[in-house]
């Protein structure tokens, strides 16, 4: 059953080929059998999942079920889940049990009727590109257990790639959906900023964070994403816009589609074999009727330094609330309030989180705000203007998602700059707030390669349709890792 698409699983549930309880138990059994090798889950909600599955079966029997009722799903452990631990993969929140559900959780489970299998591992507070900063240990890539699955949504990616869940939620602050999708042969989409509510999603960098989905195909991603989107008055950055049914718009021809190829994304630093895979995908789209447009995003190379001023600054502010007083880790033996703050934050936060908090505090401090943070925001506007001009020439922008295939565990942990450069192609979309996605486009040395598509604001349907049409003509996305068939 784990090799079926979400659409096929939904059809099987409605035709009574299997029940939601049987389907859920199948995935729970796979988690028990395989996740010890991957470490993709922090918490498995076995009892709750079976209760939800029984409720879904009752709805299916009564004829009140929705399109996703009874389909299992994994949640990234950054979304608050009532009465279930929400740790953000940090010692700071190791014992935190959320008293409420995030809007995404409410939409997918209470409203859409999906079944929550558990909470997936991630980089601590979503800060990382390899899923090695988690308090609970690194996640391993099912395509090669010696390699990383990407981050920060590496647990979600590994779980779906290994067939431990049909799909999983994820978040993307600088590429944390698209990069792990590329490294694990998945389709992952980050929608337009504000399209998915951030209420109940623990904040890293508030002007960049956006929820999305990881799945095995564009069609699966469309089905889940359309259940996630919608205006939320509890989120001040939520966009008030009519709901969309992305899955109904996947059958459109891409003949005449203008595909922009930014020269900055095919320059020095890109692995030649990865470039070849992306160029083969471009050729396939041309055979399907697309036309190519050479474009330039001149400020794209500045996206990494811009991001690593803006994101740490916002993280410094957002994580100030974790002080050992109200909730979260509290250090023992403190003799003063100041000592309590220092010891609790020193023990509760890992090295990467501490590094970013210190950078953020520095760039916001008196005497450095104008020199760093203000300048970064000016460059951010230039990056946005580059995209605005580009979309006057083309409909979608295409390029590689990553410079390389999945790298080995511990190979970059001592070099933060090298780690940060993993997101060099993905960060610009977050700074601009536009939708972007990654989809499989081939393999290098038996490791997956991802192709990135970026669109103008609220063009998720177009991106998903292009990806779906490409996947109808190719088969890379259908391959599964050995040992997890």
Residue 314 lies in a domain: no
Residue 263 lies in a domain: no
Residue 175 lies in a domain: yes
The total number of structural domains in the chain stands at 1
CB proximity list for 107: less than 8 A, separation 6 or greater: 197, 227, 228, 230
Residue 13 lies in a domain: yes
Domain membership of residue 35 as a residue range: 6-257
According to the model, what pLDDT value does residue 362 have?
96
According to the model, what pLDDT value does residue 268 have?
87
Q: What is the mean pLDDT of residues 301-307?
A: 96
Residue 402, φ and ψ in degrees, nearest 5: -130, 160
Residue 187 lies in a domain: yes
According to the model, what pLDDT value does residue 417 have?
87
- Residue 162: CATH number of its domain: 3.90.1300.10
Residue 90 lies in a domain: yes
Residue 67 lies in a domain: yes
CB proximity list for 183: less than 8 A, separation 6 or greater: 141, 143, 147, 148, 149, 150, 157, 402, 405, 406, 447, 448, 450
DSSP 8-state assignment for residue 263: G
pLDDT tens digits for range 39-60: 999 999 999 999 999 999 999 9
According to the model, what pLDDT value does residue 243 have?
87
- Cα 90 from Cα 73, distance rounded (Å): 22
- Cα 412 from Cα 423, distance rounded (Å): 13
Residue 14 lies in a domain: yes
According to the model, what pLDDT value does residue 338 have?
94
Helix, coil or strand: residue 291: strand
Residue 161, φ and ψ in degrees, nearest 5: -60, -35
According to the model, what pLDDT value does residue 301 have?
93
- Cα 31 from Cα 40, distance rounded (Å): 9
Active-site positions read 76, 152, 176
pTM: 0.96
């Amino acid at each position: 059953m784990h090799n079926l698409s979400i659409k096929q699983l939904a059809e099987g549930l409605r035709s009574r080929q299997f029940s939601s309880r049987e389907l859920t138990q199948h995935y729970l059994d796979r988690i028990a059998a395989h996740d010890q090798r991957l470490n993709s889950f922090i918490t498995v909600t076995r009892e709750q999942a079976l209760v939800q599955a029984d409720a879904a079966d009752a709805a299916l029997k009564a004829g009140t079920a929705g399109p996703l009722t009874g389909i299992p799903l994994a949640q990234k452990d950054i979304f608050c889940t009532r009465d279930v631990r929400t740790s953000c993969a940090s010692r700071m929140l190791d014992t935190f049990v959320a008293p409420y559900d995030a809007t995404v959780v409410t939409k997918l489970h209470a409203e859409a009727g999906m079944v929550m299998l558990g909470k997936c591992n991630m980089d601590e507070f979503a800060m990382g590109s390899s899923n090695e900063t988690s308090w609970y240990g690194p996640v391993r890539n099912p395509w090669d257990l010696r390699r990383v699955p990407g981050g920060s949504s590496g647990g979600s990616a590994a779980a779906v790639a290994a067939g431990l869940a049909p799909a999983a939620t994820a978040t993307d602050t600088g590429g944390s959906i698209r990069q792990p999708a590329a490294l694990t042969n998945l389709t992952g989409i980050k929608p337009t900023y504000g399209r998915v509510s951030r209420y109940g999603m623990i904040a890293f960098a508030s002007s960049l964070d956006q929820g999305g989905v990881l799945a095995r195909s564009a069609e699966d991603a469309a089905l889940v994403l359309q259940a996630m989107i919608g205006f939320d008055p509890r989120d001040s950055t939520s966009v008030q816009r009519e709901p969309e049914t992305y899955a109904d718009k996947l059958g459109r021809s891409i003949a005449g589609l203008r595909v922009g190829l930014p020269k900055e994304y095919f320059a020095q630093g890109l692995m030649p074999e990865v470039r070849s895979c992306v160029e083969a995908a471009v050729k396939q789209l041309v055979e399907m009727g697309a036309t190519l447009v050479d474009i330039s995003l001149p400020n794209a190379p500045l996206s990494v330094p811009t991001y690593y001023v803006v994101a740490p600054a916002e993280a410094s502010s957002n994580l100030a609330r974790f002080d050992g007083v109200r909730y979260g880790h509290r250090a023992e033996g403190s003799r003063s309030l100041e000592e309590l703050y220092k010891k609790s934050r020193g023990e509760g936060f890992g090295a990467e989180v501490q590094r970013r908090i210190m950078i953020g505090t520095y760039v916001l401090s008196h005497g450095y705000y104008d020199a760093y943070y203000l300048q970064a925001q000016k460059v951010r506007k230039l990056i946005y203007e580059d995209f605005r001009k580009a979309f006057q020439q083309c409909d979608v922008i295409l390029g590689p998602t990553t410079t390389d295939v999945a790298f080995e565990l511990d190979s970059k942990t001592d070099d933060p700059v090298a780690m940060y450069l993993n997101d060099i192609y993905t960060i610009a979309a977050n700074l601009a707030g536009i939708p972007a996605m990654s989809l499989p486009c081939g393999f290098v040395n038996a490791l997956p390669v991802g192709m990135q598509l970026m669109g103008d604001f609220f063009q998720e349907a177009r991106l998903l349709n292009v990806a779906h049409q490409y996947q109808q003509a190719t088969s890379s996305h259908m391959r599964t890792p050995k040992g997890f068939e």
